[in-house]
Every structure is written in structure tokens, then in C-alpha cells.
């Protein structure tokens, strides 16, 4: 197939869940199909990001596009102005007439078999009368994320703003899903949600994968007793909320049984608030971006996923499982993954239950090791990226009638 892949960013550095999923799928697809990668480019990617694109595509088309820096004065001004827009802010900021025209031009000049819209945001730039079949690759049910933001928010003004962002996202997501030829979700749970919420008939699920050759323990590192780790992009609001929830409501409960428990938070762009927490509490380490998350996992006695907000599937759980980590997660954190609480991981949805599960693992290293061994075996057997890419290509081929 000749595939035109639409995105809002270059993939390097490959340092967050959506980029990781796309990068590994495209690397696999590139071996058998021709990939043209058309993306917005805000100029913030490293200087070698364009050269590195040869790892996942044959042709690269970049469309210059400026977005406001988060938490700047201009960013907050845009948030306020968005009240008058029919589009949610997370979509409106990627609207680009230049990208729309580039899609029209390249599809008129070259015959592509399929256009893949990667994430919901690029769909705002899809031409209305595009002749090429379009597949919308949904890493999340985006409206569900905003609904959960709304549900956990306590501040009345923010809660009202989040309500309108949720409803705008629901309307846009529903329209975009119904506009394309088919939708690919990353879990059966997400595909069923979109089928029911948006009335879709052609929605499929492609399982999340993990690089099992990369994520494996060295066997040379001994985990520190009573140490916990969380990994994830800390500029993604669900991850920041997860750590705030954990440190405020769960960690104090753990300390009642394990006073010397420690937490390492690994991920890019932590907020000033989180960095300050790390400075004030010597048991909490906030690393910021690191080149390799594996040593931080391997040095920890257990891996936590205290997410209350989110959608899609969490690559971080598969990575932790492949590293033979014992995992404690909320139901939202493990959503869409074929794992069973009490077998591969522990799932707990209240602060008390989450704390109890963590204490169980920290005070019983043998049990933690059993969880890690079982989890790694399942991931290595069933969830390599090659299988996910085969499934993705099959759905695309079915959509174009092959």
C-alpha cells in the first residue's frame, strides 16, 4: 500500500506514549508499505528529528505551524478566546489551512491507497471531498478524557470550563469518526465505546504492543527496598493528576506501614508544582526527561499507575510488565489491557485499596517477583509490535477493498 500518514508532530524524540505507539507501528509498516508522513511542525523538535524520520517513513512533508507554549500568557489568552469557538481548544490549536491544502495537493498529485489520520487532532484539517479512503487512528476516546477531567475537578470555574471542553470534544469527535471510512482504536473497550457513543459501524481495535527486545531486565541490578516508580510524560494532564492524587491521598497511607517508602517520578516537563514537591520531600525524586527509563524501573520494587483520567491503553504498563515489574494500577490506568487483577497486576480504585496493594508488594518481595515474572511472560508471548502492525495493515487493506 501507499499510505499518507497525517500527524501534528515529528516523532523524535520518541518520549511519550502516542509517539512510541506510532513510531513502532510505522517502523513495522515501512518494511512492506510506502509511507509518506505529512505533519505540522512547530519548530521545537531537535535539529536531527527530520533526518531521523527515515526510520519510519520514506517521504516527509513538514508544514510550519506555531502553537502557544503551555502556561504562558498567550496560552491562557487562547484558552479564554476558545469559549467563543465551536471547536475544543485541544483541536482548534492544530487547525491549519496550509496543512489542509498540502493534503489536497499531495493526494491530487500522487495516488495513495489510504490516508491515516493519526490521533483526532489532524482530522480538523481533512479536506471534505478527499477521494482517498481515510482511516482515523484513535489512540484514545478523547471526549472520555475530558469528561474525566471534568468529573475530578473541584474548582467550580475550572469545572465549568472543562464541561464545555468535554461537550465540544464529544461533538467534534463524533463528527470526525462518522466522516472517515473506518476508525481504529487501541483496545476493544475503546472500539465498543465509540461504536455506542458515536453510532459507528466500521470501528476496529489494534492491540498495543511493546518492544520486548528493548524492555527486558539486565539481571545485574538489585531493586531498592520500598521504592516505587512512575514513568510518563509529565506535561500530559492525566499523568500530573495521577501523581498529585498519589502523593496527596495514597502515599500518606503507605507511610503508615512503610515509613521509608520512596517514589521516583520519571518523565519530561514536570510542572513547577511537582518539582517543588520533590525539593520539599526528600523521599520523592522528580527526574524530568531521561534518555532511558529502564534503569529507573529496574531499581524499583514496584511500579505504580494511579491514573484517574485517561483513555486508550497505557504503553507504560506493558513496558513495566516486560521489565518484570510488579504493577499496581487503577482501573482507568489498566483500561483496555487484557490483564487480570491478582494475576499479572494488582488493580485498586480507592486510596486505601491502592495503598494496601502497594504495601503488599513492598513487604513481600517474593510475591512481587511472581507478579513480574507472570506479566513478562504474557507480554513477550502476545504483544510484540510485529503482530500489532500486521493487524493494522489488515484493517487498512480491508477498508480499501483488498
In a domain, 222, yes or no: no
C-alpha cell at 143: 471526549
Same domain for 194 and 261: no
Nearest to 253 by CA among 349, 330, 354: 354
Same domain for 292 and 185: no
Same domain for 162 and 139: yes
Collect all residues with Cβ–Cβ distance below 8 Å to 269 and sequence separation of at least 6.
Answer: 233, 234, 235, 288, 289
Same domain for 266 and 189: no
Predicted TM-score (pTM) of this structure: 0.78
In a domain, 254, yes or no: yes
Same domain for 389 and 372: no
Indicate whether 103 pLDDT > 60.
Answer: yes
Same domain for 168 and 235: no
Same domain for 181 and 59: yes
Same domain for 392 and 273: no
Same domain for 391 and 356: no
In a domain, 220, yes or no: no
Task: Write the CA distances from 107 to 94, 114, 121, 130, 142, integer angstroms.
Answer: 20, 10, 19, 8, 27
CB atoms under 10 Å from CB of 343, counted, come to: 12
Can you give the CATH number for the domain in which 284 is found? Answer: 3.40.50.2000
Q: For 108-150, write each residue's pLDDT tens digit.
A: 999 999 999 999 999 999 998 899 999 999 999 999 999 999 9
By residue range, what is the domain housing residue 47?
2-209+385-399
pLDDT of residue 326: 97
Q: Which residues pair with 185 in a beta bridge?
A: 138, 205
Query: What value does the mean pLDDT take over residues 256-274?
Result: 95
Query: What value does the mean pLDDT take over residues 315-337?
Result: 91
Write down the mean pLDDT value for the chain.
Answer: 93
Same domain for 286 and 167: no
Task: Please tell me the least confidently modeled range out of 26-40, 53-67, 233-247, 312-326.
Answer: 312-326
Same domain for 205 and 65: yes
Same domain for 199 and 82: yes
Q: For 8-58, write each residue's pLDDT tens digit.
A: 999 999 988 889 999 999 999 999 999 999 999 999 999 999 999 999 999
In a domain, 216, yes or no: no
Collect all residues with Cβ–Cβ distance below 8 Å to 24 and sequence separation of at least 6.
Answer: 209, 211, 385, 388, 389
Total structural domains within the chain: 2
Amino acid at each position: 500500500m501507499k499510505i499518507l500518514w497525517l500527524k501534528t508532530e515529528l516523532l523524535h524524540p520518541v518520549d511519550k506514549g502516542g509517539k512510541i505507539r506510532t513510531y513502532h507501528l510505522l517502523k513495522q509498516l515501512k518494511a512492506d508499505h510506502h509511507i509518506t508522513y505529512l505533519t505540522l511542525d512547530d519548530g521545537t523538535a531537535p535539529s536531527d528529528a527530520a533526518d531521523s524520520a527515515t526510520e519510519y517513513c520514506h517521504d516527509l512533508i513538514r508544514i510550519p505551524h506555531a502553537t502557544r507554549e503551555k502556561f504562558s500568557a498567550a496560552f491562557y489568552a487562547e484558552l479564554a478566546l476558545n469559549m467563543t469557538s465551536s471547536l475544543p481548544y485541544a483541536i482548534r490549536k492544530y487547525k491549519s489551512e496550509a496543512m489542509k491544502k498540502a493534503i489536497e495537493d499531495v493526494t491530487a498529485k500522487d495516488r495513495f491507497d489510504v490516508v491515516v489520520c493519526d490521533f483526532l487532532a489532524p482530522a480538523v484539517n481533512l479536506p471534505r471531498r478527499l477521494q482517498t479512503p481515510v482511516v482515523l487512528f484513535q489512540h484514545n476516546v478523547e471526549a472520555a478524557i475530558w469528561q474525566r477531567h471534568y468529573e475530578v475537578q473541584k474548582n467550580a470555574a475550572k469545572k465549568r470550563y472543562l464541561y464545555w471542553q468535554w461537550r465540544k470534544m464529544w461533538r467534534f469527535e463524533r463528527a470526525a469518526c462518522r466522516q472517515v471510512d473506518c476508525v481504529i482504536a487501541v483496545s476493544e473497550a475503546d472500539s465498543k465505546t465509540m461504536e455506542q457513543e458515536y453510532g459507528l459501524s466500521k470501528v476496529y481495535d489494534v492491540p498495543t504492543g511493546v518492544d520486548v527486545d528493548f524492555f527486558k531486565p539486565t539481571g545485574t541490578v538489585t531493586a531498592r527496598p520500598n521504592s516505587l516508580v512512575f514513568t510518563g510524560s509529565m506535561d500530559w494532564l492525566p499523568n500530573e493528576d495521577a501523581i498529585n492524587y498519589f502523593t496527596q491521598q495514597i502515599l500518606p497511607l503507605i507511610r503508615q506501614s512503610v515509613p521509608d517508602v520512596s517514589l521516583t517520578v520519571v518523565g519530561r516537563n514536570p510542572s513547577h508544582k511537582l518539582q517543588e514537591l520533590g525539593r520539599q520531600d526528600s523521599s520523592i525524586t522528580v527526574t524530568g526527561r531521561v534518555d532511558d527509563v529502564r534503569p529507573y524501573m529496574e531499581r524499583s520494587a514496584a511500579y505504580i499507575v494511579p491514573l484517574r483520567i485517561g483513555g486508550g491503553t497505557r504503553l507504560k504498563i506493558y513496558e513495566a510488565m516486560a521489565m518484570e515489574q510488579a504493577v499496581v494500577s487503577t482501573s482507568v490506568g489498566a483500561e483496555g489491557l487484557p490483564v487480570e487483577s491478582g494475576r499479572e497486576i494488582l488493580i485498586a480504585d480507592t486510596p486505601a485499596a491502592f495503598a494496601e496493594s502497594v504495601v503488599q508488594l513492598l513487604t513481600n518481595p517474593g510475591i512481587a517477583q511472581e507478579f513480574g515474572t507472570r506479566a513478562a511472560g504474557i507480554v513477550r508471548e502476545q504483544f510484540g509490535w510485529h503482530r500489532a502492525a500486521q493487524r493494522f495493515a489488515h484493517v487498512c487493506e480491508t477498508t480499501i477493498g483488498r
